[in-house]
């Protein structure tokens, strides 16, 4: 029906009804769930697609009476799942792969994903890689390369870095010159497993999440300089627990994170310089931390309500839960406080990927 130009009130009412309908549709659309589990300065991120398929990224530390495996299982229970569809090990450092044998002794896993052989010349990493191979023996295993996809039903997961290599393009994104690269000083070579980390870009409709594991500065620059193939992201898992060897200015200039989650420990990660670079990223609205960085100062820690396990309170293993809708809106829940922060769909002005079916 064509509305006459002399009915501004009616036009306003119809517009309000349309907006209400869109808002209701976003709230009722199937949601992607992301759990940033507290593994005390390691990494473990559980992703559950609306289809029920799941991707677990890393498994935290070994020992501690199976603490990290138990915390992952707690997140699984919250998500309503009893098995893991895909388990990705970003690299073979103990705080990322150490908890895997304890977890797979209790939880069924569909397939194991990694970057291939261990590349680090150190006894502890060789030991942890051997323990990993022993734990997954007889189970499906796949080596990932840049440009590969992880088959998480209903969600697109693109590998953007693996084994020291990186993609040069992302479907739907026009690479753009990265102006932050020219002023960046060279980063040192990193012979450790950190530089071999698997990194991925997850896309659910208009929502985007980036996790680069512990990728360090030199490899970050290889990914985003001189041109950046990555789109702006809604959620960024701060690389390398917020350590200063990662989270370069060119990377942050390329991805323009809207919300960042730092999986630091009480005295691991959360470097003041890296924290400040993330905080200063164009378009950033919130920086959340798993722990207070106790080796830092108040000026380089987020406000207490935005920390899952703050200094001075018992460490209860609180975590963050993100619910994302395909329209790009999402919420973040601090499970310690119960606070839910809502983030509407991001306004235009940032480079985005064209949604694909």
User: Residue 14 pLDDT > 50, yes or no?
Assistant: no
Q: Give just the sign of the alpha carbon dihedral 84, 132, 98, 260.
A: negative
Backbone φ, ψ for residue 40 (5° rounding): 55, 55
3 state DSSP class of 288 = strand
pLDDT at residue number 242: 98
* Out of 19-23, 299-303, 319-323, least confident range: 19-23
User: Residue 7 pLDDT > 50, yes or no?
Assistant: no
User: Residue 17 pLDDT > 90, yes or no?
Assistant: no
User: Residue 356 pLDDT > 70, yes or no?
Assistant: no
Between 63 and 355, where is the model more confident?
63
Give the CA distances from residue 328 to residues 54, 125, 234, 321, in Å, rounded to whole numbers and listed in that order: 20, 39, 8, 16
| Chain segment 201-211, per-residue pLDDT in tens | 999 999 999 99
pLDDT at residue number 25: 47
CB distance 154 to 49 below 8 Å: yes
Confidence of residue 350 (pLDDT cuts 50, 70, 90): low
Confidence of residue 348 (pLDDT cuts 50, 70, 90): low
> What are the residue ranges of helices labelled H in the chain?
8-28, 67-79, 94-97, 100-104, 123-136, 217-224, 249-255, 272-279
Confidence of residue 347 (pLDDT cuts 50, 70, 90): confident
pLDDT at residue number 346: 85
Tell me which residue has tokens 């052989």.
Answer: 117
Q: How many whole angstroms separate alpha carbon 335 and alpha carbon 247?
A: 26
CB within 8 Å of 127: residues ≥ 6 apart: none
- What's the token pair of residue 30? 């199937």
Q: What angle do CA 294, 298, 304 make, to 5 degrees?
A: 85
Task: Classify domain 30-343 at the CATH topology level.
Answer: Metallo-beta-lactamase; Chain A (3.60.15)
Confidence of residue 248 (pLDDT cuts 50, 70, 90): very high
Confidence of residue 28 (pLDDT cuts 50, 70, 90): low
pTM flag (> 0.75): yes
User: Domain ranges in the chain?
Assistant: 30-343
| Chain segment 142-180, per-residue pLDDT in tens | 999 999 999 998 899 999 999 999 999 999 999 999 999
Q: Pairing state of beta strands 207-211 and 199-204?
A: antiparallel
Confidence of residue 315 (pLDDT cuts 50, 70, 90): confident
């Amino acid at each position: 029906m064509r509305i006459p130009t002399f009915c501004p009130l009616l036009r306003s009412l119809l517009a309000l009804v349309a907006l209400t309908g869109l808002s209701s549709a976003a709230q009722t659309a199937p949601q992607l769930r992301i759990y940033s589990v507290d593994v005390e300065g390691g990494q473990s991120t559980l992703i559950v697609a609306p289809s029920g398929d799941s991707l677990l990224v890393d498994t935290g530390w070994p020992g501690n009476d199976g603490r990290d495996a138990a915390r992952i299982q707690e997140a699984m229970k919250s998500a309503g799942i009893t098995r893991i569809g895909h388990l990705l090990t970003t690299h073979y450092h103990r705080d990322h792969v150490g908890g895997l044998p304890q977890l797979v002794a209790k939880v069924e896993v569909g397939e194991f994903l990694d970057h291939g052989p261990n590349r680090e010349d150190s006894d502890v990493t060789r030991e942890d890689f051997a323990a990993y191979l022993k734990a997954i023996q007889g189970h499906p295993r796949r080596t990932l390369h840049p440009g590969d996809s992880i088959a998480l039903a209903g969600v697109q997961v693109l590998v953007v870095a693996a084994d020291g290599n990186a993609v040069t393009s992302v479907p739907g994104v026009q690479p753009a010159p990265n102006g932050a690269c020219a002023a960046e000083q060279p980063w040192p070579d990193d012979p450790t497993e950190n530089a071999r980390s698997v990194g991925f870009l997850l896309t659910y409709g208009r929502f985007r999440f980036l996790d680069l594991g512990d990728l360090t500065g030199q490899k970050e620059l290889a990914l985003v300089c001189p041109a950046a193939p990555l789109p702006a992201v809604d959620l960024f898992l701060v690389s390398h627990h917020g350590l200063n060897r990662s989270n370069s200015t060119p990377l942050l200039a390329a991805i323009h994170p809207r919300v960042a989650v730092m999986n630091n420990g009480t005295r691991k990660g959360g470097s003041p310089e890296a924290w400040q670079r993330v905080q200063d990223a164009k378009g950033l609205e919130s920086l959340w931390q798993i722990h207070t960085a106790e080796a830092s100062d108040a000026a380089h820690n987020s406000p207490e309500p935005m920390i899952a396990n703050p200094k001075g309170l018992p460490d209860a293993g609180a975590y963050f839960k993100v619910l994302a809708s395909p329209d790009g809106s999402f919420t973040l829940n601090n499970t310690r406080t119960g606070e839910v922060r809502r983030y509407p769909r991001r306004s235009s002005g940032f480079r985005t990927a064209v949604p694909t079916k």
